[in-house]
Amino acid sequence: MTDTQLVIIGSGPAGYTAAVYAARANLSPVVIAGSVTAGGELMNTTDVENYPGFPAGVQGPELMESMREQAEKFGAEVIYDDVATLKLEPGAHQIETALGARYTAQAVILATGSAYRELNLPNEKKLSGHGVSWCATCDGFFFRNQHIAVVGGGDSALEEATFLTRFASKVTLIHRRQELRASQAMQDRAAADEKLEYLLDSEVTEIHGEDSLSGLTVRNTVSGETSELPVTGLFVAIGSDPRTSLFGDQLSLRSDGYLNVEGRTSKTAIEGVFAAGDVIDSVYRQAITAAGSGCSAALDAEHYLADLDAVTKQAEAVAAAEASQAPAPIAS
Amino acid sequence: MSTEVTDATFEETVLKSDKPVLVDFWAPWCGPCRMVSPIVDQIAEENTEKLNVVKVNTDENLETASKYGITSIPALYVFKDGEVAKTIIGARPKPALEDELSDFI
């Protein structure tokens, strides 16, 4: 059992930024980074062009490595393990990892991020890794000169689609509405891409294939007509859901599943428990907003720990004063 | 440490092995592969008597990767008597991997 002041769960921009701030405030934070998910979602991206301070862009994994280095430089301890159980008990929150390490923490920052959403269609799981994928940068390479479909209409969908045109013979972007949610910059880039075509007002209703993906059935959401799309690759980019399974039964969640915090702070309903990043943000969900949110959580935790410390010191002072005023024990 | 296997050595090292062989298909540009690689190394070290563990760089050994229909990495395949006996797609924490590999370790 290791007693700590602060444990940070998660290691995306929110977790690592919280770690930088907390470490600089001498809180010696322990970051439980995840065994295979350390660095978070940016580990699966390539060029990040909108993170301030990098006019030439920066590779996602490189940015996350730098954040980790910066946190460690100031004394954060990064553990590559996963939290198995979390008991939130004010004063001494209990954390146990998958490999059996145990920590108590006076304060906890939850920066668990989000997980890719699935289409929830039959065959999706079975063909995952056999044509169905959630990571263009990991898997795009295997689809050289093939026809690939990307589902989704946001920035990540368009980013995946334009990335995949480097390898594919053709990429079809399937989106259930007419308008894309992606930023104008992303849309302009996509529009210039000759290998990219659009199937709008459309949704995937069936995934076909025995050992590997052979095609999709796509339904037009306006006319109701269905058509077959003979693709060998399907990349799903329809957003993500907050990862709350560790604490969903102990803290109140919003109706959309995101973790509830108090106003513009990072405070959750349990004393000494703070939250940051995508797990509380259903709106912005950017690396920079997650980082900013991690900073807020570290400052909130810092204030909380300082108050806790002041209360403890005051109690000790009172006890010491009482002890000094007490009559000396009479020797018998 | 686990050894690197190539298109040229795959048959000899993997398919003709007396022991089951865990093959870690990876590529240098794959983030999750880098995360799972040290875990695979640990499993290799802890189970040397039961399991051989090798790595195949899919960038350099396309023939083997495409023969086994690899389209997502990391992909961990167990080969037993020359046949695929188990496939695990995607990076997993160590306890989860050990659980999936329980028949072989």
A227 pairs with which residues across the strands? A218
Summarised one tens digit per residue, pLDDT across range A2-56 is 999 999 999 999 999 999 999 999 999 999 999 999 999 998 888 888 999 999 9
How many C-beta atoms surround the C-beta of residue A126 within 10 A? 14
CA nearest neighbour of A171 among A185, A159, A186: A159
C-alpha distances in Å from residue A226, one per residue of A119, A176, A199, A203, A295: 17, 13, 12, 9, 48
The C-alpha of A131 sits at a distance from chain B's nearest C-alpha, in angstroms, of 6
What percent of chain A stands above pLDDT 70?
A: 98
Please tell me the total number of residues recorded for chain A in this structure: 332
List the single best residue of B36, B60, B72 to mutate versus A (max A Cβ within 10 A): B72
- Asked if A35 lies within 8 A of B39 by C-beta distance, the reply is yes
Dihedral over Cα of A127, A131, A132, A138: its sign: positive
- Asked if B31 lies within 8 A of A35 by C-beta distance, the reply is no
Q: In the predicted model, what is the mean pLDDT of chain A? A: 94
Residue B94 tokens, joined: 């160590």
The C-alpha of A91 sits at a distance from chain B's nearest C-alpha, in angstroms, of 30
Q: Quote the ipTM score.
A: 0.79
By CB atoms closer than 10 A (0-12, 13-18, 19+), residue A245 is exposed
Q: How far apart are CA A203 and CA A176, in angstroms?
A: 5
- The DSSP code sequence of A68-132 is HHHHHHTT-EEE---EEEEE--TTSEEEEETTS-EEEEEEEEE---EEE-----TTTTTTBTTTE
Cross-chain CB nearest to A138 (options B32, B69, B92): B32
Q: How far apart are CA A148 and CA A203, in angstroms?
A: 15
In the three-class reduction of DSSP (H, G, I as helix; E, B as strand; rest coil), residue B44 is classed as helix
- The DSSP code sequence of A152-208 is --SHHHHHHHHHHTTT-SEEEEE-SSSS--S-HHHHHHHHT-TTEEEE-SEEEEEEE
Annotated catalytic residue B105: no
A108 pairs with which residues across the strands? A7, A273
Instruction: Catalogue the long-range contacts made by A190-195 (C-beta closer than 8 Å, 24 or more residues apart).
Output: A190/A158, A190/A161, A190/A162, A193/A161, A193/A162, A193/A165, A195/A165, A195/A168, A195/A169, A195/A170, A195/A171
Residues of chain B with pLDDT under 50: none
Cross-chain CB nearest to A138 (options B73, B92, B94): B73
> Which residues, 6 or more positions from A56, have their beta carbon under 8 angstroms from its beta carbon?
none
- CB contact at 8 A, A126 and A289: no
The C-alpha of A309 sits at a distance from chain B's nearest C-alpha, in angstroms, of 36
Q: How far apart are CA A82 and CA A71, in angstroms?
A: 19
Supply the pLDDT for residue B31: 84
Annotated catalytic residue A135: yes
Amino acid at A212: S
- B-chain CB neighbours of A211 within 8 Å are 69
| pTM score | 0.86
Q: What is the DSSP letter of A42?
A: G
Report the alpha-carbon angle A275-A136-A18, nearest 5. Answer: 20
- A-chain CB neighbours of B35 within 8 Å are 35-38, 43
CA nearest neighbour of A242 among A223, A226, A261: A261
Annotated catalytic residue B30: yes
Residue of chain A minimizing CA distance to B69? A130
Query: How many A-B residue pairs are in contact by the CB < 8 A criterion?
Result: 73
Q: What is the DSSP letter of B66?
A: H
Please tell me the total number of residues recorded for chain B in this structure: 105
CA nearest neighbour of A10 among A291, A282, A241: A291
List the single best residue of B35, B60, B71 to mutate versus A (max A Cβ within 10 A): B71
Supply the pLDDT for residue A322: 86
Average pLDDT of span A256-266: 96
Is residue A77's pLDDT more than 90? yes
- Asked if B72 lies within 8 A of A98 by C-beta distance, the reply is no
Is residue A225's pLDDT more than 60? yes
Cross-chain CB nearest to A38 (options B35, B58, B70): B35
Cross-chain CB nearest to A130 (options B65, B69, B73): B69
Supply the pLDDT for residue A242: 97
Summarised one tens digit per residue, pLDDT across range A150-174 is 999 999 899 999 999 999 999 999 9
Supply the pLDDT for residue A98: 95
Cross-chain CB nearest to A36 (options B73, B87, B92): B92
- CB contact at 8 A, A236 and A164: no
Q: Which of A47, A82, A135, A193 is catalytic?
A: A135
- Phi and psi at B80, nearest 5°, equal -130, 125
Report the relative pairing of strands A114-116 and A240-242 from DSSP bridges.
Answer: antiparallel
| Domain ranges, ordered by start, for chain B | 3-99
- Asked if A129 lies within 8 A of B90 by C-beta distance, the reply is yes
- CB contact at 8 A, A216 and A228: yes
Residue of chain B minimizing CA distance to A99? B95
Summarised one tens digit per residue, pLDDT across range A107-141 is 999 999 999 999 999 999 999 989 999 889 888 98
Supply the pLDDT for residue A331: 55
Our separate counts of H helices and E strands in chain B read 4, 5
C-alpha distances in Å from residue A300, one per residue of A16, A30, A103: 15, 17, 21
In the three-class reduction of DSSP (H, G, I as helix; E, B as strand; rest coil), residue A299 is classed as helix
Residue of chain B minimizing CA distance to A100? B95
Supply the pLDDT for residue A328: 61
Secondary element (H or E) of residue A311: helix A287-325
Supply the pLDDT for residue A326: 66
What CATH class has B3-99? alpha beta
